[in-house]
């Protein structure tokens, strides 16, 4: 688990938060880090509260349940992705730029792609992971609206979309390998810029290749 880079977050910080809002943000940050490291079921509300620097009863003043906390954590990280897709739909669509844009947004919450990976490999009866799947399906359905209608069959379009999503999110799930090979964090600004450029190039290639 790792915190988001301070420089990356600077332009997205919300000024003049109230004490309650600051506490809620600490809780969400703690939940994101712990759940990505241990999984939804193995992480307790008490552990999240302790990591946020508050008592467990105090956490329930902000989130009524563990599931509500997890849902709020996902909303905070993933709503900007949905908004980015909506903005592309309202403007001149440039789908090949979307994976790089999504990668930039995921850099603000680099543990979230790990939750994607956990959810896709987890039993279906895990309530936390079910929330992740609901979000992923929502994002994929929005993404399909951006794909050119001549980009192949329904199956091909979905596979293209998944490939592009993996380009954006896989960079963060490969954090350990990247640090071992490059001795740099995935949140290094130069690496993030290179990843975004590469994501755009690969997305453009997928869209331009001839569909049989």
Model-level pTM greater than 0.85? no
Q: What is the pLDDT of residue 2?
A: 58
Residue extents of the structural domains in the chain: 6-208
pLDDT band of residue 202 (cuts 50, 70, 90) is: confident
Which residues make Cβ contacts (< 8 Å) with residue 205, sequence separation at least 6?
A: none
Residues of the chain with pLDDT > 70, as a percent, come to 85
- In terms of Cα–Cα distance, which of 88, 55, 100 is closest to 198? 100
The predicted-structure confidence for 147-186, as pLDDT tens digits, reads as follows 776 667 888 888 888 888 888 899 999 999 999 999 999 9
Contact at 8 Å (CB) between 99 and 164?
A: yes
100, 168, 205 from 26: Cα distances, Å: 28, 26, 40
The predicted-structure confidence for 26-73, as pLDDT tens digits, reads as follows 999 999 999 999 988 899 999 999 999 999 999 999 999 999 999 999
Q: What is the pLDDT of residue 211?
A: 44
Pick the CATH number of 6-208 from 3.40.50.2300, 1.10.150.20, 1.10.3720.10, 1.10.357.10: 1.10.357.10
Burial class (CB in 10 A: 0-12, 13-18, 19+), 26: middle
Q: What is the pLDDT of residue 212?
A: 46
H-helix segments, 64-188: 66-90, 98-106, 112-121, 127-146, 154-173, 175-182
- In terms of Cα–Cα distance, which of 53, 187, 188 is closest to 109? 187
Contact at 8 Å (CB) between 147 and 161?
A: yes
pLDDT band of residue 131 (cuts 50, 70, 90) is: confident
Which residues make Cβ contacts (< 8 Å) with residue 79, sequence separation at least 6?
A: none
Burial class (CB in 10 A: 0-12, 13-18, 19+), 46: exposed
Which of 199 and 26 is assigned the larger pLDDT?
26
């Amino acid at each position: 688990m790792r915190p988001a880079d301070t420089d990356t977050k600077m332009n997205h910080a919300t000024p003049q938060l109230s004490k309650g809002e600051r506490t809620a943000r600490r809780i969400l940050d703690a939940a994101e880090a712990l759940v990505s490291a241990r999984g939804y079921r193995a992480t307790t509300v008490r552990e999240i509260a302790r990591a946020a620097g508050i008592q467990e009863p105090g956490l329930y003043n902000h989130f009524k349940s563990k599931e509500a906390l997890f849902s709020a954590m996902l909303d905070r990280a993933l709503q900007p992705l949905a908004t980015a897709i909506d903005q592309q739909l309202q403007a001149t669509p440039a789908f090949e730029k979307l994976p790089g844009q999504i990668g930039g947004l995921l850099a603000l919450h680099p543990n979230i792609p790990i939750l994607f990976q956990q959810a896709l490999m987890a039993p279906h009866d895990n309530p936390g992971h079910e929330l992740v799947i609901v979000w992923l399906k929502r994002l994929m359905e929005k993404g399909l609206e951006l794909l050119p209608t001549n980009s192949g069959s329904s199956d091909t379009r979905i596979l293209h979309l998944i490939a592009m999503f993996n380009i954006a999110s896989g960079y963060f799930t490969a954090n350990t390998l990247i640090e071992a090979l490059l001795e740099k964090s995935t949140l290094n600004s130069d690496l993030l810029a290179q990843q975004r450029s590469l994501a755009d190039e690969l997305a453009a290639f997928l869209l331009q290749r001839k569909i049989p």
